[in-house]
Amino acid sequence: MKIGTIAPLSYTPGQLEYFQFLRGGVGADYHQGPRFYRFPEGTVRMTWEAYDFDECSPNSVTLYSDSPNRGITWSAPQVCMADIAGGVFSGPALRLRGSMTALMLLARTRHAIVVDEKRRVATAGSDYFQASTRIVLRRSADGGRTFDPGSEIPYREITGGKSLPGVGFYGAVDDLLQLQSGRVLAAFMYLDPERSDPARGLQHYTVACLLSDDEGRTWQRGGEITARTPRGAMEVQIAETAPDSLFCLFRTKGGYLYQTASLDGGRTWIPSAPSPLPSPESMARMIRLASGSLLVVWNNVSSVTQQPRHPLAAVLSRDGGRTWGQPKMIADETGLHQLSNHGLIQLDNGCILLGISHYRHVRPMTSDLDVALFDEAWLLEGHDPLRPEPGQEREDKR
């Protein structure tokens, strides 16, 4: 199956390079939610969801493309996973340090939506109180090339025994990382029945951490992360800044990214509070760079709604999230167009790959997949980012 052809990208140390990776409407209306994984021999894999009509569409599949040369050339996208009857798969993968063992956490969610195929729009969105999610842990012994069928993690281990009436559990896997101690931490957001009001349709999300000290064979429930904002805590990003010291940022409806911290490897978390980073209700991504600095990419504008999801900016912290530098612009948009739902990885040559979901608010709506390449030198010194006009990206790079 050949969904499309990916033209070569380029990386110039000290500069920002920005490309349209795959156009919406090629293979699917929407391409969104990129994640990266690096195999032991260095090949980089990007996976993302492709679907028509709506992000809760039952026809969603996971696509992948591989790069053997640090993000320059990429294979034609192929279907990685599809389970239409059982629900949509999504989730991160993690190769354990110094090992060929890799873990993959999948959230499989069944939604009920109504679509108008002629107009290619959803006419009735998902009622999340009626959506049902299952969490599956899969294990690899060959560095992530192949995985076993997996085993389900009972949702009550995540929620602490709480259950949504009729469906049990609706949620997602937010983050998966290994600490210096070897502990594996998995963070989940879930629709909290004790903090939500289904009768009024008011959602409230809580984040729970599961901790494993035996490479994912058994899990213990760590601390919860909460926020006193409408809809609560969503889409957390966690980084270890010192042994067992964790810093966390997450999405809220409070006009800022909120933050919290743990000093015991995720067993407990301090009360959350607004960070200095203004944000709409939109995902942020955070990774710890090889230098020890924290990198955050997010929509740098304050809003208590989900709009605007632009501009897309990057910022560094050299002190574990206590203070932040000057944000650097990666790309901008206008109106209801979006630059969001992105993924991050730093490679062994220092290059940072950023995958971006680029929504176009036209009828029918589509979402491109864009990719930016840059490094810490650009973040610290940098040059004015130059973003080509749509359709010019390839010609400029040939």
Residue 18 has pLDDT above 60, yes or no: yes
| Rounded distance between C-alpha atoms, residue 103 and residue 147, angstroms | 8
Tens-place pLDDT, residues 132-184: 999 999 999 999 998 998 999 999 999 999 999 999 999 999 999 999 999 99
CATH of 17-397, one of 2.120.10.10, 2.130.10.10, 2.30.30.90, 3.40.800.10: 2.120.10.10
* pLDDT value of position 388: 38
Count of Cβ atoms closer than 10 Å to residue 109 Cβ: 21
Per the CB < 8 A criterion, the answer to whether 258 and 247 are in contact is no
Three-class SS of residue 361? coil
Handedness of CA 145, 149, 150, 155 (dihedral sign): positive
| Rounded distance between C-alpha atoms, residue 343 and residue 203, angstroms | 25
Enclosing H/E stretch for 45: strand 44-51
DSSP 173: E
Looking at every residue in the chain, the average pLDDT score rounds to 92
Start-end of H helices in 95-144: none
Tens-place pLDDT, residues 197-248: 999 999 999 999 999 999 999 999 999 999 999 999 999 999 999 999 999 9
| Rounded distance between C-alpha atoms, residue 155 and residue 108, angstroms | 12
Tens-place pLDDT, residues 58-102: 778 899 999 999 999 999 999 987 664 455 556 799 999 999 999
Average of pLDDT values for 18-22?
Answer: 98
Stronger pLDDT, 250 or 392, i.e. the higher one: 250
Q: What are the domain boundaries of the chain?
A: 17-397
**Cα–Cα distances in Å, from 192 out to 1, 175, 227?**
41, 18, 12
* pLDDT value of position 55: 84
DSSP 130: G
Average of pLDDT values for 350-366?
Answer: 94
**321-359 residues labelled b (16+ CB within 10 A) or e (exposed):** beebeebbebbebeeebbbbbbbbbbbeebbbbbbbbbb
Please report, rounded to a whole number, the percentage of residues in the chain having pLDDT higher than 70.
Answer: 93
The amino acid at 136: V
Highest mean pLDDT among 33-42, 111-120, 375-384 belongs to 33-42
Tens-place pLDDT, residues 277-293: 999 999 999 999 999 99
Residue 392 CB contacts under 8 Å (≥ 6 apart), including other chains: none
Residue 398 has pLDDT above 80, yes or no: no
- The β-bridge partners of 173 are 188
pLDDT class of 116 with cuts at 50, 70, 90: confident
* pLDDT value of position 396: 34
* pLDDT value of position 89: 56
pLDDT class of 375 with cuts at 50, 70, 90: very high
* pLDDT value of position 387: 39
Three-class SS of residue 109? strand
| Rounded distance between C-alpha atoms, residue 396 and residue 268, angstroms | 50
The two structure tokens encoding residue 249: 């940022």
